[in-house]
């Protein structure tokens, strides 16, 4: 599904010498590369504050702690997403309120958000799924009207641009109250282990986020609030500094592959190619097809036999997972999510896909659908 080795070969010198430097100076924790990366990412995103942390799940948890969300508060998020989004809501004793997604973009349904708002609602967590932004302009409007926080889960869409109707644009994750991202190796900006970050334009919140990520500490050994231990390793910051310079090229390489797939597969009656939103650029974390009248399990096995990996993101909707079962929902409540979970198939998507490989993948797939 990804080719991290091929990508590494192209930045090997910088990564190897940077990691060696960290070992030579033993600055494993909070070394200079961490601060450099923070500044580099702030400049790239055009956001006032980036606070690195240990992973994307921690970023989401720290965001909710920094906003003082309390048990009983309701947090609205999408039923079609990676589990981490809902997990931290549950862990903090908050109530996850799931809503359906839009059939074209797979992103959270803005009409469903508004319907789900109650007196207890405190925040909305839009997930920019598969690399394209949710409808942030509408979401920010709803949040303003109902006085809600917006925590953007930008783990799959770092670098994507959101286009406002007035002609301006902003990077995914810099529009809401806080943005949360992940540097898991296979993400669009991935390190060689775990990593994550929060973004915000609010000075007070940035201070609080920093404090919470460091044991709630204001000055060394002075602890003002309950916190966690969540840091980005210096070695991971070295890798991220090297890769951030290429992030736009990486997005272009992913778009090249996506355009190839679109062209080769767009006219097949059993395949629905992913739609492009008018309001967002697409950084193609995943290229996700919908299958129409195809035995997905069998097709996946046949592809595998021919050396073509294909994955199902995500096979089970959150409201049908044992851990998230609730009296609030029953099967059938989120028809779009339920249909997608039964019909989606993601093809290999990364920065190293050349024409020959793409041709092999699409020829193999088309052949199997005959």
Binding of residue 90 to ligand PLP (CB under 6 A): no
Q: Which residue has the tokens 């099967």?
A: 331
Q: Which is nearer to ligand PLP, 156 or 277 (CB)?
A: 156
- The span of 44-52, 55-63, 236-244, 296-304 binding ligand PLP (CB under 6 A) equals 55-63
Structure tokens at 296: 């997905």
- The span of 15-23, 76-84, 131-139, 352-360 binding ligand PLP (CB under 6 A) equals 76-84
**Min CB(132)–ligand PLP separation in Å:** 13
- Out of 18, 31, 56, 317, point to the residue binding ligand PLP (CB under 6 A): 56
CA-nearest of 169, 176, 183, 175 to 38 is 183
Give, as ranges, the residues between 3 and 22 that touch ligand PLP (CB under 6 A).
Answer: none
- The site map against ligand PLP for 227-256 (x = CB under 6 A) is ------------------------------
Quote the DSSP letter at residue 15: H
- Measured between alpha carbons, how far is 326 from 358 in angstroms, rounded to an integer? 43
Give, as ranges, the residues between 153 and 172 that touch ligand PLP (CB under 6 A).
Answer: 153, 155-156
Binding of residue 196 to ligand PLP (CB under 6 A): yes
Give, as ranges, the residues between 136 and 155 that touch ligand PLP (CB under 6 A).
Answer: 153, 155
Total residues contacting ligand PLP by CB under 6 A comes to 15
- Measured between alpha carbons, how far is 147 from 141 in angstroms, rounded to an integer? 10
Binding of residue 182 to ligand PLP (CB under 6 A): yes
Binding of residue 82 to ligand PLP (CB under 6 A): yes
Q: Which is nearer to ligand PLP, 80 or 260 (CB)?
A: 80
Q: Which is nearer to ligand PLP, 55 or 337 (CB)?
A: 55
Q: Which is nearer to ligand PLP, 346 or 362 (CB)?
A: 346
Residue 141's contacts (CB-CB under 8 Å, 6 or more residues apart) are none
- How far lies 65's CA from each of 50, 93, 227, 228, 315, in Å? 17, 11, 8, 10, 30
β-partners of residue 49 are: 200
**Min CB(196)–ligand PLP separation in Å:** 5
Binding of residue 184 to ligand PLP (CB under 6 A): yes
**Min CB(288)–ligand PLP separation in Å:** 13
Q: Which is nearer to ligand PLP, 74 or 153 (CB)?
A: 153
Q: In the chain, what is the greatest distance between 2 CA atoms, to the nearest angstrom?
A: 67
Residue 85's contacts (CB-CB under 8 Å, 6 or more residues apart) are 60, 77, 78, 125, 127, 153
- The span of 28-36, 50-58, 219-227, 351-359 binding ligand PLP (CB under 6 A) equals 50-58
- Measured between alpha carbons, how far is 314 from 81 in angstroms, rounded to an integer? 7
Its sign, for the CA torsion 321, 186, 22, 244, is: negative
- Measured between alpha carbons, how far is 134 from 107 in angstroms, rounded to an integer? 5
- Measured between alpha carbons, how far is 149 from 75 in angstroms, rounded to an integer? 9
- Length of the chain counted residue by residue: 370
- Measured between alpha carbons, how far is 66 from 49 in angstroms, rounded to an integer? 14
Q: Is the peptide bond before 314 cis (omega within 30 degrees of 0)?
A: yes
- Out of 7, 61, 79, 81, point to the residue binding ligand PLP (CB under 6 A): 81
- The span of 49-57, 96-104, 163-171, 344-352 binding ligand PLP (CB under 6 A) equals 49-57
Chain residues binding ligand PLP by CB under 6 A are 55-57, 81-82, 84-85, 127, 153, 155-156, 182, 184, 194, 196
């Amino acid at each position: 599904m990804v080719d991290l080795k091929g990508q590494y070969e192209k930045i090997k010198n910088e990564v190897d010498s940077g990691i060696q430097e960290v070992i030579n100076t033993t600055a494993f924790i909070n070394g200079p590369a961490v601060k450099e990366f923070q500044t580099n990412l702030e400049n790239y995103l055009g956001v006032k504050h980036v606070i690195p942390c240990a992973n994307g799940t921690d970023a989401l948890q720290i965001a909710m702690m920094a906003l003082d969300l309390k048990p009983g508060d309701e947090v609205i998020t999408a039923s079609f997403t990676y589990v981490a989004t809902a997990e931290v809501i549950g862990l903090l004793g908050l109530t996850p309120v799931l809503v359906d997604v839009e059939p074209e973009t797979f992103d959270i349904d803005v009409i469903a958000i508004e319907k789900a708002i109650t007196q207890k609602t405190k925040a909305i967590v839009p997930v920019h799924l598969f690399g394209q932004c949710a409808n942030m302009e509408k979401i920010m409007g709803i949040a303003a009207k109902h006085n809600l926080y917006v925590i953007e889960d930008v783990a799959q869409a770092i670098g994507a641009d959101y286009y406002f109707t007035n002609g301006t644009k902003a990077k995914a994750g810099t529009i809401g109250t806080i943005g949360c991202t992940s540097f898991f190796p296979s993400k669009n900006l991935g390190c060689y282990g775990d990593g994550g970050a929060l973004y915000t334009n609010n000075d007070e919140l940035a201070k609080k986020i920093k404090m919470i990520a460091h044991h709630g500490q204001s000055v060394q050994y002075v602890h003002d609030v309950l916190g966690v231990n969540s840091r980005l390793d210096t070695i991971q910051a070295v890798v991220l500094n090297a890769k951030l310079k290429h992030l736009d090229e990486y997005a272009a390489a992913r778009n090249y592959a996506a355009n190839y797939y679109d062209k080769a597969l767009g006219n097949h009656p059993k395949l629905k190619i992913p739609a492009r939103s008018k309001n967002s650029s697409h950084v193609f974390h995943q290229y996700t097809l919908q299958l129409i009248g195809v035995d997905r399990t069998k097709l996946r096995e046949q592809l595998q036999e021919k050396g073509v990996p294909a994955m199902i993101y995500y096979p089970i909707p959150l409201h049908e997972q044992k851990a998230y079962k609730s009296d609030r929902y029953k099967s059938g409540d989120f028809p779009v999510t339920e249909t997608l979970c039964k019909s989606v198939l993601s093809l290999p998507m990364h920065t190293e896909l050349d024409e020959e490989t793409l041709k092999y993948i699409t020829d193999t797939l088309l052949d199997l659908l005959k």
